């Protein structure tokens, strides 16, 4: 059963979705296909990452304009260290450039920025930029962008489990205190609501160790479009698809909310 009447104009659909309160509050994206996009054009893989970074900026701006409250993107996984060192260096150079630009523009654009992942191996200049972005985020009230870099879903859960074990060993908590809320409080995403919609570009039908705890009830949208070519129009199609679904959360329908 359709939950709203679709129109020929996607912008009108989005406005209907907003009016009905069916806009996803949190969108997560696996930005896949940068390397394939470049290789299909005879370009080095890092040229695809550069184009993908530009597209991320465009999509993030559109999400903010649409009223999305949280956007989480998968930039570099714990497994991506296996790639060619030159490609890895190129990705981190782009990350450094993005952080510098964010620090220059965050207040004007009224966005927040958080980094999800193990930052212990990051160079000092990147750590300094992350710290500066965190300070600026305290002064903004708009959409929060979460960039997952050196991130893995299993690694995140292990990190939370170690934190719980340390607290238990120190007598700060008892085994009876360990519940879902205690785990969530120790995830990189602590304080951020779970994604409503998970978008994967590039056509692969897997979640690739991304937000394994958080996407338990996320709606999935997979497109064959490679990330550098993922357009604002396709983002709107993903949101329209999301709005037409009945999110049951294990219940009987009517988009009932999950228990927390």
Q: Which residues are tagged catalytic?
A: 32, 80
CA angle 58, 61, 64 (to 5 degrees): 150
Tokens standing for residue 160: 């939370």
215, 201 Cβ separation under 8 angstroms: no
- Alpha carbon 201 to its chain centroid, in Å, reads 13
Of the candidates 214, 208, 206, which has an alpha carbon nearest to the alpha carbon of residue 188?
214
Q: How far apart are CA 100 and CA 132, in angstroms?
A: 9
Of the candidates 49, 97, 93, 96, which has an alpha carbon nearest to the alpha carbon of residue 74?
49
Please enumerate in sequence order all residues whose Cβ is within 8 A of that of 167, keeping only pairs 6 or more positions apart, or say none.
173
Q: How far apart are CA 137 and CA 164, in angstroms?
A: 28
Residue 174 burial (CB count, 10 A): 9
CA angle 119, 123, 125 (to 5 degrees): 110
Q: How far apart are CA 148 and CA 119, in angstroms?
A: 10
How many helices (H) and strands (E) would you count in the chain?
8, 6
66, 233 Cβ separation under 8 angstroms: no
């Amino acid at each position: 059963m359709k939950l709203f009447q679709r129109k020929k104009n996607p912008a009108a659909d989005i406005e209907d979705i907003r009016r009905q309160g069916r806009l996803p509050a949190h969108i997560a994206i696996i930005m896949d296909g940068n390397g394939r996009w470049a290789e299909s054009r005879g370009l080095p893989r890092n040229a695809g990452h550069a184009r993908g970074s530009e597209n991320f900026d465009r999509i993030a701006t559109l999400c903010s304009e649409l009223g999305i409250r949280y956007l989480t993107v998968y930039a570099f996984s714990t497994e991506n260290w296996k790639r060619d060192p030159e490609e890895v260096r190129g990705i981190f150079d782009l990350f450094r450039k993005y952080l510098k630009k964010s620090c220059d523009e965050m207040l004007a654009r009224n966005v927040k920025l958080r980094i999800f992942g193990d930052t212990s191996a990051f160079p000092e200049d990147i750590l300094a930029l992350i710290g500066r972005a965190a300070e600026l985020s305290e002064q903004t009230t708009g959409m929060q962008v979460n960039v997952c870099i050196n991130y893995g879903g299993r690694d995140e859960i292990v990190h939370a489990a170690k934190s719980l074990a340390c607290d238990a060993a120190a007598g700060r908590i008892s085994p009876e205190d360990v519940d879902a809320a205690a785990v969530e409080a120790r995830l990189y995403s602590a304080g951020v609501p779970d994604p409503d919609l998970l978008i994967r570009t590039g056509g692969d039908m897997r979640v690739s160790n991304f937000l394994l705890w958080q996407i338990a009830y996320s709606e999935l949208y997979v497109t064959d479009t490679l990330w550098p070519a993922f357009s604002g129009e396709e983002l709107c199609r993903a949101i329209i698809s999301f709005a037409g679904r009945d999110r049951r959360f294990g219940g009987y329908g009517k988009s009932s909310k999950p228990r927390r």
